[in-house]
């Protein structure tokens, strides 16, 4: 039954991998499979038992089974093999958001606003449940088409998500720090608005195709985050409205208490607004240059996956100028 990991002889036989590997995470591989019983295409997340403790997988499972939201990927079933724990998940048929943007060839602020609203609605739902995701980044935003053919964004990967029952929960920094909030980088207590910082970085990426804090090393990236060292280069932000830039600045505040909650962002007048001038401005047409920029960013995300930043000197970061 969903809600527990159980031997997967029956289910494993009914889930057949017919396509190439879909993506690799820090501790898992996600494959696109056909579920023979329901005739559905599903995503099977196989977590390596040698790399992840059972209780960590169970924590993700327990969170996912409680969640039902159109912008959060659904858990269908679970099973266990001798080498892996497996979560059978709803398939987002259009793949990763950045790849989807590249494939369609152009992007306007109207589209960015729609994508962000989807993510904000997912975060608002999670935060009402006192759940913080702690890994909001482009790689964890997938796109599915609705019955009417409209794109909808779905949040995935709850491996780092936690229920905040205490005001003093400190989460270890794993993987790339690029989308991590300052409090996460500094080893300080996280909050629900830690996700809003990450969404601010995602917004910057969607508006420009560039990454605001990413540097040559994880430590330099963390220093940039703690110093709030970012700008809006003209080459990348020409044609982007002031309202959109203000929304990024609204989320990228070092003090977690000064960041607006997701529910307020959905009502916030400074959110990328539905003014005609904003919607008619093309943020970027994905020509050769922009294609290259998005692909480089995707490559960097892939390369950063699997790194562990716990070796960064926290005292050094806390003494940043």
The residues annotated with a catalytic role in the active site are: 135
φ/ψ bin of 306: left (φ > 0), alpha (ψ from -120 to 50), beta (otherwise): left
- Residue appearing with tokens 């696109």: 32
CA distance 224 to 229: 5
CA distance 161 to 133: 4
CA distances from 46 to 49, 138, 229 (A): 9, 21, 37
Print burial letters for 244-272: b (CB count within 10 Å at least 16), e (below 16). Answer: bbebbebbbbeebeebbbbeebeebeebb
Residues contacting residue 292 through CB under 8 Å, at least 6 positions apart: none
Could you tell me if 130 and 164 are in contact, meaning their C-beta atoms sit under 8 angstroms apart? Answer: yes
């Amino acid at each position: 039954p969903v809600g527990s990991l159980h031997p997967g002889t029956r289910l494993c036989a009914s889930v057949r991998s017919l396509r190439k590997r879909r993506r690799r995470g820090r501790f898992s591989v996600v494959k696109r499979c056909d579920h023979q019983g329901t005739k559905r295409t599903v995503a099977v997340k196989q977590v390596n038992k040698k790399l992840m403790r059972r209780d960590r997988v169970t924590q993700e499972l327990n969170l996912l089974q409680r969640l039902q939201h159109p912008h959060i990927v659904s858990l269908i079933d679970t099973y266990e093999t001798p080498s892996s724990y497996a979560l059978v998940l709803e398939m987002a048929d259009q793949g990763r958001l950045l790849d989807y943007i590249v494939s369609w060839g152009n992007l306007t602020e109207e589209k960015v606003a729609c994508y962000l609203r989807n993510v904000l609605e997912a975060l608002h739902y999670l935060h009402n449940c006192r759940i913080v995701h702690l890994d909001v980044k482009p790689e964890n935003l997938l796109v599915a088409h609705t019955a009417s053919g409209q794109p909808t964004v779905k949040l995935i990967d709850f491996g780092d998500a936690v229920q905040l029952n205490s005001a003093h929960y400190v989460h270890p920094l794993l993987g790339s720090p690029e989308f991590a909030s300052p409090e996460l980088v500094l080893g300080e207590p996280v909050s629900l608005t830690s996700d809003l910082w990450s969404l601010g970085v995602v917004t910057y990426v969607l508006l420009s195709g560039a990454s605001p804090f990413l540097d040559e090393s994880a430590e330099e990236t963390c220093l940039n985050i703690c110093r709030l060292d970012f700008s809006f280069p003209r080459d990348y932000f020409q044609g982007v409205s002031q309202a959109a830039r203000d929304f990024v600045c609204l989320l990228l505040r070092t003090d977690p208490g000064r960041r607006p909650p997701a529910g307020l962002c959905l009502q916030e007048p400074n959110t990328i607004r539905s003014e005609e001038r904003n919607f008619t401005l093309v943020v970027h047409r994905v020509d050769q240059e922009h294609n290259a920029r998005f692909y480089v960013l995707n490559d960097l995300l892939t390369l950063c996956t699997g790194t562990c930043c716990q070796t960064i000197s926290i005292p050094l970061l806390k003494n940043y100028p």
